[in-house]
């Protein structure tokens, strides 16, 4: 049995990859922005922000503009709650966390035969 040349072997391959000197998307976008600013052109986000602050436009239209511009001007909210580690919490915070956990378990039906447990 003969092995074909280059199959299953790592390393550089002739002609593989992006051509040398080609531009990536980021440098191309930065170049376009720089050219637009040099020619004193209005960028789309800047134009929308000016329209957003125009009091003569209807509030409904301005709401739509705000929804369009928001992803470019403000970060997205995190979908993950950031909490302290129990070692960093005081007693009241730990008690609140335990209470919330017990409520969630009841709501989900986990341990219904055990909860709520007597306090004393």
pTM: 0.39
Helix, strand, coil share (%) of the chain residues, nearest 5: 50, 0, 50
Residue 5: the pLDDT is: 59
Structure tokens that stand for 66 in this block = 């705000």
Give pLDDT tens digits along the chain (120 positions).
Answer: 555 555 666 778 888 887 887 777 777 778 887 888 888 888 888 889 999 989 999 999 999 999 999 888 887 776 677 678 888 889 999 899 888 888 888 888 777 666 566 666
Among 60, 35, 64, 32, residue whose Cα is nearest residue 48: 64
User: Taking phi first (over 0 means left), then psi (-120 to 50 degrees means alpha), and beta for anything else, what does residue 3 get?
Assistant: beta
Cα three-residue angle 93-97-100, rounded to 5 degrees: 140
Residue 54: the pLDDT is: 92
Residue 61: the pLDDT is: 93
Domain limits, the chain:
25-73, 83-120
Structure tokens that stand for 58 in this block = 């209807």
Task: Compute the distance between CA of residue 30 and CA of residue 91 in angstroms, rounded to an integer.
Answer: 52
């Amino acid at each position: 049995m003969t092995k074909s040349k280059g199959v299953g072997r790592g390393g550089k391959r002739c002609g593989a990859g992006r051509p040398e000197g080609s531009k990536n998307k980021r440098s191309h976008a930065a170049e376009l922005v720089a050219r637009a600013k040099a020619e004193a052109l209005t960028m789309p986000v800047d134009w929308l922000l000016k329209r957003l602050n125009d009091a003569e436009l209807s509030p409904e239209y301005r709401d739509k503009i705000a929804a369009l511009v928001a992803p470019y001007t403000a970060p997205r909210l995190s979908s993950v709650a950031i909490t302290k580690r129990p070692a960093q919490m005081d007693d009241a915070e730990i008690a609140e966390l335990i209470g919330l956990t017990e409520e969630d378990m009841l709501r989900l039906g986990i341990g219904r035969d055990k909860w709520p447990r007597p306090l004393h």
